[in-house]
Amino acid sequence: MSIARFWRETPRRYNLGGSKCSVCGTVYFPPRTVCPECTSHRQSIGKMTPFHLSGDGEVVSFTVVHEAAEGFEMQVPYVVALVRTVEGPILTGQIVDIEPKDVAIGLRVRATFRKLREEGKAGVIHYGYKFAPSEDEGRPSAPRGPAVPAPTAEPTKTPGTPA
């Protein structure tokens, strides 16, 4: 990667900087200038705002790599996963600080920034995000869906209140 590209991509590489559509609320990573979810893409032009992802998420799919790509031979086996962030976007990243046999779908993780490589002895050091198990991994998952029941067709009467 060239140094110019390295510095241009710094906000999303080091801060998980994405964008959010002010029209429909959809969050994107990496950032976008137009929202593909809006019915008329034109309505989102100029309405995409910078958004910082928390880094919290859940493994939705993963694979254990046993035959490493060049430069990663010393890390095998390692896990690469699809992580759905709490804000919605799905990111691809390596799972670290856990044995590959212990990774499972549903594992709650948090983004962590780690050194990826450096260009020569005196070159630029490249960092990037990976995912590690969340500190609260042992706790039960937060409930999904609505926190309260959907309203019924007829309101219910609370005892002791006037009709």
The alpha-carbon radius of gyration of the chain (Å, integer) is: 21
Round to whole Å and give the CA distance between 114 and 108.
19
What pLDDT is attached to residue 14?
Answer: 66
What is the per-residue pLDDT for 161? 44
What is the CATH number assigned to the segment(s) 54-133? Answer: 2.40.50
Are 75 and 39 in contact by the 8 Å Cβ rule? The answer is no
pTM over 0.75? The answer is no
Percent of the chain surpassing pLDDT 70? 74
How many separate helices (H) and strands (E) can be counted in the chain? 2, 8
| 108 contacts 136 by C-beta, under 8 angstroms | yes
What confidence tier does 80 reach under pLDDT thresholds 50, 70, 90?
A: very high
Query: What percent of the chain stands above pLDDT 90?
Result: 49
Domain boundaries, the chain: 54-133
pLDDT surpasses 50 at 146: no
Q: Mean pLDDT lowest for which of 61-65, 120-124, 130-134? A: 120-124
